[in-house]
Amino acid sequence: MLYTAKILLLLQTISFASLTFSDISTEPASQKLTPAQEITRQLNRLDFSISIRSIVPSAINNLYSVKLSSGQHIHASSDGRYILIKDHIIDISSGNPVNITAIEHQQEIIKELEQLDKKDLIVFTPSGDVTGVVYAFTDADCSACRKMHYDIPELNKRGIEVRYLAFPREGLNSSGHKKMTATWCADDRKAALTQLEQGMPVEEKTCRHDPVPTHYAVGERLGVTGTPFLVLEDGRTIPGYQPPERLAAIIASRPPASL
């Protein structure tokens, strides 16, 4: 069984910080309603096609379990303002439902990016105007990472600056870590990374300031589990390889204003 149309839309677009539907009246209710009535009212304002089978208190105070006629469950606050879907808290009190959880996560990501020292990154900058910036966690032995690196000229041509961070998927002190350290400690980092992404060996080298452990720690905090893992300046994350035209479109499609 499936969620109704707009609930399904929320599920499909859960990665965005703000979710916008058509204008919905925000006039307050004319009288005091019970939690079940208020939850029903708010959900019906979101989508008239929603059919609710039952609304009962959950084990958590002021949080109600809502069973839809489709057989699916969601949770809602007693005032109907918030719904909980797939571990994401959505504010549905206005015509612009807002993913509170995604906003908080993106703000945390932005803070992480602001603390990075650009000199510890390997940066490929366009010769012309920069229209977007992508932070890319990469690994020494990753076919999709090699595919992305092959796209660097096209990405730069589109005005996209790529800032690489090292993320050895096998963990620190692994063979991948040693390769990444050799790359980041090379005299010409960009040439070394290109050589590495082409599957060629990089001269083993260490240096006093090895940024790989720092990059790895940042990646773990951001939830990186695979590479390439892309992060945009506004905090949006993009797991996996994206063709240049698709990546450019994602960067250009700014999410609606949040809270």
Catalytically active residues, by annotation: 139, 142, 145, 169
Which long-range contacts does 64-73 make (Cβ < 8 Å, 24+ apart)? 64/35, 64/36, 64/39, 66/39, 68/3, 68/4, 68/7, 70/1, 70/2, 70/3, 70/4, 71/1, 72/1, 72/2, 72/3, 72/7
Token pair for residue 175?
A: 């063979």
CA dist 109 and 27 (Å) reads 35
CA dist 246 and 186 (Å) reads 32
Beta strands in 139-207 (DSSP E): 160-166
Token pair for residue 152?
A: 């660097």
- Please, what is the end-to-end C-alpha distance for the chain in angstroms? 33
Which long-range contacts does 151-156 make (Cβ < 8 Å, 24+ apart)? 151/243, 151/244, 152/124, 154/244, 155/124, 155/244, 155/247, 155/248, 156/124, 156/125, 156/126, 156/127
Token pair for residue 192?
A: 């070394």
CA dist 195 and 210 (Å) reads 19
Nearest of 77, 56, 78, 80 to residue 66 by alpha carbon: 56
